[in-house]
Structure formats: structure tokens, C-alpha cells
A and B are shown apart, each in its own frame.
Chain A
Amino acid sequence: MNKILLIIKREYLTRVKKKSFIIMTILGPILMASIFIAPFLINKISEEKIVIEVIDEIGIKLPETENITFDYKNISFEDAKANFRRQHYYAILYMPMIMLNYPGGTILYSKKDVNLSIKEYISNAIGQELYEAKLASHGIDKELLRTLKTDIQIRTIKATEKGEEKSESEKATMIGLISGALIYFFIFLYGAQVMRGIIEEKTNRIVEIIISSVKPFQLMMGKILGVAMVGLTQFLLWVILTAGITTFFMNYAFQNPGSRKKIEKMMVQRNQQMGDSQSIAAKEIAKEAQSSPVKELLGNINFPLIVGSFIFFFLGGYLLYGALFAAIGAAVDSETDVQQFMLPITIPLILSFIVAQSVVMTNPDGALAFWFSIIPFTSPIVMMVRIPFGVPVPHFILSVTLLIAGFIFTTWLAAKIYRTGILMYGKKITYKELAKWLFYKE
């Protein structure tokens, strides 16, 4: 037992000291955090103040924003164009008389390509102004029109044993998919590391020295468990760092007085628009938005359950496939021979990911989803995707039990192949050969 710990320690330390591990550990959270942060950053970057020169032949006033202001000039479009190069305007907006009958007549004249959002803002603004002008010309009251419009919002509520809960399908989908994808990715990443480690020991010819001190099974399990701990370390560091980076940036973004004010203003507007009848929902939304971004992201999702199941299904799936990866590593002489044996491993993994994406998303409690979340070869991914939607307890227990049985089985199988394979050099191995190894006596 002591020797297995020594092996685990070596496998763990040599891997976490590697540059590639350190780089991945830092890069991962930055990439993940950027998914959360990017929208905010993009918003900030576009807050560049621009002034547009307007040649208006119709006589409408466009609403200005913090960033976009208009400078109305009473000159001809030709003159404006002639002077444009020497002036600081971002663009010239030309609204000719014919625009009223021929909407294509509006021209936005600029030095470089116009920012899409600015173009959209201007066209919406003109459209709104003309719409209101036309309403007025027909004698229709703007306020009357607004009260006629009904804005329908559907709130989904889930009946559970704990009473009513707000349903969170979108969040469940997102969390399920992300954790499923992570497990898929981790199994491949760390499974391949186990395999490469074993091939390395074989090609280095150190394996015979080591198994004269420990049992082949100890060496194999030590490697699998050591790499598992590397995986867990990476995962936990990712979670902590991602949360850290995201919180840091979010706080920074919200502390910026401009954005905070903007959000508050939005809230007020929204509340006014919704009116009293919908005030409960409005209040809830407002409350949510005021709480921390991470909390808002998680909502009613059972976070400890998700993380706990993630760790279990990651470990279970990894142990199940890791043993198979180990068997492949032991059977081949170099990484170039790996391909022929990879198919039986990749197919169930890819299949479960496809099932996770398509079927589970549309029908997380259907028969296909059920079976895939029970069979150990696909359950680590499919069950993980189902969990955020809520899974009946018996299904969960069945899946967990079968997964444990599954990895005990694959470990047993792998150990048989491993102990013969690691001492076999310079021989091209076939499936038939592997099957024979299973029945060798020790």
C-alpha cells in the first residue's frame, strides 16, 4: 500500500510541476472567465464618444445618447462633403427630402466603415421619429397606443417536494452542457496522459525495473490515481480561479459609476413600462439583478449537488476509461500504434456527447436519456447533463452503482492486459492477442 502511495506521489508531482500543466491551469480560467466577462468588456470598449454632422432637410430631432451626439448644420450635403476631411466628425448623416417617400435615400457618409451598432442606432432612431411623426399626422395618441399593447411574459414554475420553485431550464441546460463537456474533455485529456505515461515507461524500459519492486497492478493503479489527482487539482484550481477572475472583473465593471447608473436607469425604465400588474415579477427580477453576478448565474440550481456529482462522475468516468487507456498503453510499443485500439474508447464517448446535446436537451427524462445515463460507458457525461434538470433518486443511485461496478470491471480487464503487455516488446498486437492475454495465468 505504501508503494502505491509512492507511485501516486511521483505521478502527481512530476505532472503538476510540468510547464504545460501550469500554463493550462492559468490559461483555462482566463478563457472561461472571458466567456463571462467578454460581453461587459465589449460594452465598455464601444463606449467611444462620437459626433455626427447632420444635414437635415426634413426637420426631425434624433435622440442623443452618452456616446452619440449630433451636430445639426444648415449647409448643403455637397459643401459638407467638401469640408469633411478637415473636420473632426465621425460621419455625415444626410436626410434628404425624398426620404419620406423613398426610405433608401438616407446617406451616412464617413471616412471608414461605420460601426454596425451606430448604423443600427441611427436607423432605429429615424424609424421611431418618422413613426411618431406619422402617428401624429393621423391624429393617433402615442400614450393610447402604448396602453393597447400587451407585453406577455411567461414565468415557469416547477412543482417539487419542497413546494414551488422557479424553473431554470436555460441555466440547467447551460450548466449541464458545460459540465458534460468538461467531463468529456477531462476523460480524453487525462486518459491520454495515463496512456502516454505507460507507453513512456515501456519505451524507456524502466517498467521492468519497477515491477521487480512492485506488482504491475500497483504500478497501473498508482498511475491512474496519480493522474486523477492531477485532474482534480486542475479542476479545483479552474473553479477557484475562474470564480476569482470573474468576480474581480464584475466588481470592477459594476463599480464603474457609468455602468452602474446605466443599469439602475434600465431597471427604473423597465419597472415603469411593466406597470403595477406585473410588479411582483419586476421586483423579483430587480432583486436578482442586484445580487452578485455569480449568484445570479446559479439561481436556484443546487450548486453543491452539481459540484459533488461532477466530481463523482468525472472520477467514475475517468477511472472507467483511464483503465482502458492504460490497457492500450500497455499493449502498444509506441503512440503511432495506438489508433487501432482507440475506436472502442472514442465511440461511446462521442456518442454520449451527441446524445447529451440533442436528446437530453429536448427531453431530459426520455427513454434514450434514461438508458444512456444508466449505462456506465455513457453515464458520466449523459447523467451529468441530466442532473441540473433534476433526476429521480432511484435513477441516480442506479447510475452511480453501475458506474462503480463498471470501473471495477474495466480495471480488472485492464490489469490482465497490462501485466502481459508491459513486458511485450516489438510485437504488433491484435485484438485476438489481447483476448488471449485475458486468460493467461499470472
Chain B
Amino acid sequence: MNIIEIQGVTKRYASQLALDNVSISIPEGSIFGLLGPNGAGKTSLIRIINQITAPDEGKVLFCGEKLSPSHVSMIGYLPEERGLYKKMEVGEQAIYLAQLKGLTRKDAIAKLKSWFEKFEMQSWWKKKIEELSKGMQQKVQFIVTMIHEPRLLILDEPFTGFDPINTRLITEELLSFRSKGATIILSTHRMESVEELCSHIALINKSKKILDGTVKEIRAAHKTNIYELEYSGNVIGFSNALGSGFELVSSSQDFTTTRARVKMLGDNTVNNLLHALIPHVQIHGLREIVPGMNEIFINKVNG
């Protein structure tokens, strides 16, 4: 089942087109990477899902229902441009924001206490936000986003401002949150976190969706059929052995071994390649070169 169904959404600001007939399905329980260069329209789309703005055309369904104010309490949103009231105390502020999401004051306090314990920040309760460091503020912000245990969590560049230790902490929280059945939309430029976390992605460029699907499928679809071989033996013998069925893309020599990238031509398989090579060289290793999300992103956006 899809928790979010975006159907033909178009959004215009004055003369500028922010989203052009975008349709995306976000399956329940996925970690969905929303990718795209700056100004592509990601934030506009996220704001529409959050009902901050409404689409000019098209519609958005939440669990099959048309998006309505009653869904607000089921969504948690951490915007890219985020902050808190600087002069307000941490605890009071967290309670306030939790109440705005529909929690009662009592529930909010109980839940916050357990979060604060987990992150070892009980001593911050009475402090003002401005007294905390940037990273500490981000932690508070993260807790506030999750406090009402939303079914859908929308995070826009969640890792900026965190050191590697906190990034790990947050990542673990996200994964355990997902394992409880929640869905996460992750908008980020950090492709390594996309590869690590996301099961699905959609790529938006110049207001249009240009790619979507599971990460596995997308990477498989972008395979270039190139393998890297590590071998020792005669380099010329190696090239000759490739014959017309394979193409040598690159080759570099170490002290004892050579690394070569070979592209399969026609219907040739790895087995055919090995069959051709084994009589001529000693093979130490073989692996398929699968393009990273980073390459796919750059290729798709520039291409």
C-alpha cells in the first residue's frame, strides 16, 4: 500500500513553474529518497505533502484519502530551514510543539522525558535554546519532529549540523522507527546516506520527475556491463585473449598485478570472459562495476 500518492501535481509561483505534472507513489514502510539539485522543486513538493501550500493542479492522497487537516498529526516534518524559539526553554518549547501536533500536555511530557533520557539530555530541560550548541539544538529539533510518533516522517537534509557520532545515532533512530512500520521521506544531497538508507527514490529536476523506483532496480538499470579484473601475467596476452567479444576499457599496473576494466559486448557473460582468459593469465579477482547513486544523479541531471 502507498502511504502517499502524488497524482499529476503542478504548482506555479507567479510566472515560475515549481512542479510540472509530478506523480510519485511512496510505499508504506519505505525510506524514500527525494533527490534533485537545488531549486528542482523538492521543497515545493514537501510543502504540498505537509499542506503548507496546496497544488494548483493534481492531488495528493494519504493512505488513499485526499489530504486533509486531520492528517497533520500523522506527519512529522523537519524542514531544511529550521530553528526554534531562541528565548524559550527547551522543555516548554518541546511541549508546545508537541501539543500543536495534537498531543496532550501530559502525554507530551511523558514522551519527552523518555526521549531526553535516551539521548542523555535531561539537564537541558530548563535551558534556553540559545544556550545550546548548534548540534544540541538539532537534537532537540529531531526529537520534536518524532515526538508524536508520526506514520510519515519527512526529513529535509536531516544530517546537516551533526557530527559523525550523532549522525550515526540519528540514523539508528530512523532505522528503528522504520522497523516499527513508519515511512520516511528523506530529501538530501548526500548520496552515501541515500545508498545506506533508502529503499526507494525519486529524482526531480527542473520541476519534473525524471526517475523513480527502488534503489536496487535503478542501479541495476544503470549497469554499464563493465567488470573489473585483477590478474597477473602478460598484458598483451590478456588483450589478445579478449578478442572481439569484450572491450578493454582501462588498465593499470601494480608491482605484481594488473587491474583491467572490461566491457561485455553482445551476449557475452562473465563465464565466457573467464573461459577466454583462464588459459592466458592468472586471475586474482573479479567484480561487477555498478554505478553509485552519485553517478546516476549526475548523469541524469546533466544528461
- Identify B85's interface contact among A7, A204, A425, CB under 8 A: A204
Task: Please indicate the chain B residues that have their CB under 8 angstroms from the CB of A14 in the complex.
Answer: 85, 87-88
Task: Please indicate the chain A residues that have their CB under 8 angstroms from the CB of B56 in the complex.
Answer: 441
B84 in the interface (beta carbon within 8 A): yes
Flag A420-438 by CB within 8 Å of B: 1 or 0 each: 0001010000000000100
Q: Is the CB of B77 within 8 A of A209?
A: yes
Which residues of A from 239 to 283 have beta carbons under 8 Å from B?
none
A209, A423, A442: most-surrounded residue (chain B CB, <10 A): A209
Q: Is the CB of B50 within 8 A of A6?
A: no
In the complex with contacts A14-B88, A212-B75, A205-B97 CB distance below 8 A: no
Task: Please indicate the chain A residues that have their CB under 8 angstroms from the CB of B77 in the complex.
Answer: 208-209, 212
Q: Is the CB of A213 within 8 A of B96?
A: no
Task: Please indicate the chain B residues that have their CB under 8 angstroms from the CB of A367 in the complex.
Answer: none
Which residues of B from 5 to 25 have beta carbons under 8 Å from A?
13-14
Task: Please indicate the chain A residues that have their CB under 8 angstroms from the CB of B54 in the complex.
Answer: 441-442
A144 in the interface (beta carbon within 8 A): no
A81 in the interface (beta carbon within 8 A): no
Q: Is the CB of A205 within 8 A of B83?
A: yes
Which residues of A from 196 to 238 have beta carbons under 8 Å from B?
200-201, 204-206, 208-216
Task: Please indicate the chain A residues that have their CB under 8 angstroms from the CB of B85 in the complex.
Answer: 14, 200-201, 204, 206
Can you sample 9 A-B contacts with CB below 8 Å?
Answer: A206-B82, A206-B83, A206-B84, A208-B52, A209-B77, A209-B97, A212-B72, A213-B72, A441-B54
A10 in the interface (beta carbon within 8 A): yes
Interface residues on B, range: 20 to 34
Flag A1-26 by CB within 8 Å of B: 1 or 0 each: 00100110010001000000000000
Flag B74-109 by CB within 8 Å of A: 1 or 0 each: 010111011111111000000011011100000000
B167 in the interface (beta carbon within 8 A): no
Per the bound structure, the CA–CA distance linking A167 and B28 in Å amounts to 78
Per the bound structure, the CA–CA distance linking A6 and B95 in Å amounts to 11
Residue in A closest to B99 when the chains form the complex, CB atoms: A6
Q: Is the CB of A209 within 8 A of B82?
A: yes
Residue in B closest to A213 when the chains form the complex, CB atoms: B100
In the complex with contacts A14-B88, A213-B72, A214-B100, A442-B53 CB distance below 8 A: yes
* Chain B interface main SS type: loop
Q: Nearest-CB distance from A102 to chain B (Å)?
A: 73
Interface size on A, residues (CB 8 A): 25
Per the bound structure, the CA–CA distance linking A442 and B51 in Å amounts to 10
B206 in the interface (beta carbon within 8 A): no
Q: Nearest-CB distance from B143 to chain A (Å)?
A: 13
Given A204-B85, A213-B97, 10 extra CB contacts under 8 A = A6-B96, A10-B96, A208-B77, A208-B82, A209-B78, A209-B82, A209-B141, A209-B144, A216-B52, A436-B14
Which residues of A from 285 to 305 have beta carbons under 8 Å from B?
none
B280 in the interface (beta carbon within 8 A): no
Q: Nearest-CB distance from A88 to chain B (Å)?
A: 60
Task: Please indicate the chain B residues that have their CB under 8 angstroms from the CB of A216 in the complex.
Answer: 52
Per the bound structure, the CA–CA distance linking A6 and B99 in Å amounts to 8
Task: Please indicate the chain B residues that have their CB under 8 angstroms from the CB of A423 in the complex.
Answer: 47, 52-53
Flag A128-161 by CB within 8 Å of B: 1 or 0 each: 0000000000000000000000000000000000
Q: Is the CB of A212 within 8 A of B52?
A: yes
Q: Is the CB of A204 within 8 A of B84?
A: yes
User: Which 5 pairs show the lowest CB-CB distances between chains A and B?
Assistant: A205-B83, A213-B100, A204-B83, A212-B77, A208-B79
Q: Nearest-CB distance from B72 to chain A (Å)?
A: 6
Q: Nearest-CB distance from A98 to chain B (Å)?
A: 76
Which residues of B from 220 to 257 have beta carbons under 8 Å from A?
none
Q: Is the CB of B81 within 8 A of A208?
A: yes
Task: Please indicate the chain B residues that have their CB under 8 angstroms from the CB of A425 in the complex.
Answer: 81
Q: Nearest-CB distance from A149 to chain B (Å)?
A: 69
Task: Please indicate the chain A residues that have their CB under 8 angstroms from the CB of B47 in the complex.
Answer: 423
Per the bound structure, the CA–CA distance linking A212 and B73 in Å amounts to 9
Task: Please indicate the chain A residues that have their CB under 8 angstroms from the CB of B51 in the complex.
Answer: 212
Residue in B closest to A424 when the chains form the complex, CB atoms: B13
Q: Nearest-CB distance from B15 to chain A (Å)?
A: 10
Q: Is the CB of A213 within 8 A of B101?
A: yes
Residue in A closest to B148 when the chains form the complex, CB atoms: A213
Flag A399-439 by CB within 8 Å of B: 1 or 0 each: 00000000000000000000000010100000000001000
Task: Please indicate the chain B residues that have their CB under 8 angstroms from the CB of A209 in the complex.
Answer: 77-79, 82, 97, 141, 144-145
Q: Is the CB of B79 within 8 A of A212?
A: yes
Per the bound structure, the CA–CA distance linking A213 and B73 in Å amounts to 7
Q: Nearest-CB distance from B16 to chain A (Å)?
A: 12
Per the bound structure, the CA–CA distance linking A206 and B100 in Å amounts to 13
Task: Please indicate the chain B residues that have their CB under 8 angstroms from the CB of A201 in the complex.
Answer: 85
Per the bound structure, the CA–CA distance linking A3 and B28 in Å amounts to 29
Residue in B closest to A205 when the chains form the complex, CB atoms: B83
Q: Nearest-CB distance from B92 to chain A (Å)?
A: 9
Task: Please indicate the chain A residues that have their CB under 8 angstroms from the CB of B144 in the complex.
Answer: 209
Task: Please indicate the chain B residues that have their CB under 8 angstroms from the CB of A213 in the complex.
Answer: 72, 97, 100-101
